């Protein structure tokens, strides 16, 4: 029997709905909220309100684009967390309403597990799935984690940031340079014209497989402060070099621990996921490292790097296989410690 899942994602500032039948994507619609740009970051209350306005047209649009109606849906998957509580609440309540009104089961998805499982979204029934076990570096605006994926049902976090996430390092450093939010893609673009060796910034000395980015952020800030004293146009005159140097430091930190984790766990299938996995420098550097280390490298298509409901629908699909349904009284969670 074929199974069709409606997925709903609303954890931050993107409202998204997707439809997947038997692991194959049929529709994935995303409505991104522009309202936050003028504030230099996501404003939670505005995000919740925009989700409320967007969610019905987005779900409707996904059904239409798949040529389906709600009666064709077998289960509703939604992001339970982690994320902004008000934003999550909109998606969770909407999913419950759809499930209740149409007598459908619910599937609660961990957003981070969704990012990892974006590698399991198939565009056609013939699309190959990644080889397992897989080591996935999950790099988003709120998380930086090294995850051993033994199966879509079995993931273990083996390393993570003890302070800022990699995306946060990009965004915060961009902000002090006066670049627009989100800073990651802007730094990526400007880096292409800069010299990555122009400046050097502090790299953390954290034991094991954990990350830290707060020292780098401070070191970046101090470099700007010191130069600005004698050179008021320092940022403007060195923007591309600052971006390129910062980006290459973040990439070195990320890939250094990834390599170490692969050695420690004897894994040669490697993936990246999350918003920062769109970074062109990170993608190139990982491909190069993969060639040297004889890894099978999986880069997500750019449309699956940032928040989307296709990854929530595929995670729901795997939960459905195991009858892991959620009760109607399940609450959203701003923080989630494990990858269940």
Residues that bind Zn ion (CB under 5 A): 140, 307
Should residue 142 be labelled a site residue for ligand KG4 when binding is judged by CB under 6 A?
yes
We find the least distance from the C-beta atom of residue 254 to ligand KG4, in angstroms, to be: 11
Q: What is the DSSP string of 73-141?
A: --EEEEEEESS-HHHHHHHHHHHHHHHHHHT--EEEEEHHHHHHHGGG-BSSTTPPPPPSSEEEEEE-S
Which one of 91, 152, 274, 290 is in contact with ligand KG4 (CB under 6 A)?
274
d(CA 154, CA 160): 17
- Residue 188 binding partner per list Zn ion, ligand KG4, none, with a CB distance cut-off of 5 to 8 Å that depends on partner kind: ligand KG4
Angle between helical axes of 44-66 and 85-102 (0-180°, round to 10):
40
Instruction: Please say whether the beta carbons of 203 and 252 come within 8 A.
Output: yes
d(CA 188, CA 215): 21
CB closer to ligand KG4, 167 vs 204:
167
- Residue 170 binding partner per list ligand KG4, Zn ion, none, with a CB distance cut-off of 5 to 8 Å that depends on partner kind: ligand KG4
- Residue 142 binding partner per list ligand KG4, Zn ion, none, with a CB distance cut-off of 5 to 8 Å that depends on partner kind: ligand KG4
Should residue 194 be labelled a site residue for ligand KG4 when binding is judged by CB under 6 A?
no
Which one of 20, 276, 299, 311 is in contact with ligand KG4 (CB under 6 A)?
276
We find the least distance from the C-beta atom of residue 11 to ligand KG4, in angstroms, to be: 7
Structure tokens at 288: 């190069």
Instruction: Please say whether the beta carbons of 187 and 170 come within 8 A.
Output: yes
Binding mask 217-256 for ligand KG4 (x = CB under 6 A): ----------------------------------------
Which one of 245, 248, 279, 333 is in contact with ligand KG4 (CB under 6 A)?
279
d(CA 324, CA 340): 10
Structure tokens at 119: 């590698």
Should residue 12 be labelled a site residue for ligand KG4 when binding is judged by CB under 6 A?
yes
């Amino acid at each position: 029997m074929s199974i069709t899942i409606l997925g709903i994602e609303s954890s931050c500032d993107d409202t998204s709905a997707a439809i997947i039948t038997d692991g194959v994507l049929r529709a994935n619609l995303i409505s991104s909220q522009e309202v936050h740009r003028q504030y230099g970051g996501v404003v939670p209350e505005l995000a919740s309100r925009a989700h409320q306005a967007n969610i019905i047209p987005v779900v409707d649009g996904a059904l239409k684009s798949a040529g389906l109606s709600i009666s064709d849906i077998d289960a509703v998957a939604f992001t339970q967390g982690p994320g902004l509580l008000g934003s999550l609440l909109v998606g969770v309540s909407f999913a419950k309403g759809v499930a209740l009104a149409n007598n459908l089961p619910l599937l609660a998805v961990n957003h981070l597990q969704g990012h990892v499982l974006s590698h399991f979204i198939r565009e056609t029934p013939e699309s190959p799935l990644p080889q397992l076990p897989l080591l996935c570096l999950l790099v988003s605006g709120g998380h930086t984690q090294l995850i051993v994926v033994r199966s879509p049902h079995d993931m273990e976090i083996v390393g993570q940031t003890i302070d800022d996430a990699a995306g946060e390092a990009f965004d915060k450093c961009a902000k002090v340079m006066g670049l627009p939010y989100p800073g990651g893609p802007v730094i990526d673009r400007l880096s292409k014209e800069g010299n990555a060796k122009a400046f050097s910034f502090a790299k953390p000395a954290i034991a094991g497989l954990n990350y830290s980015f707060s020292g780098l952020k401070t070191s970046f800030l101090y470099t700007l402060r010191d130069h600005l004293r004698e050179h008021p146009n320092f940022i403007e005159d060195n923007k591309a070099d600052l971006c390129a140097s910062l980006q290459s430091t973040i990439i070195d930190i990320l890939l250094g621990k990834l390599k170490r984790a692969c050695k420690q766990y004897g894994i040669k299938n490697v993936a990246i996921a999350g918003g920062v996995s769109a970074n062109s420098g990170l993608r190139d550097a990982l491909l190069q490292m993969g060639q040297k280390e004889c890894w099978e490298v999986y880069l997500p298509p750019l449309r699956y790097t940032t928040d989307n409901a296709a990854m929530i629908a595929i995670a729901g699909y795997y939960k459905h296989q195991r009858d892991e349904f959620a009760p109607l009284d399940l609450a959203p969670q701003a923080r989630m410690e494990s990858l269940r």
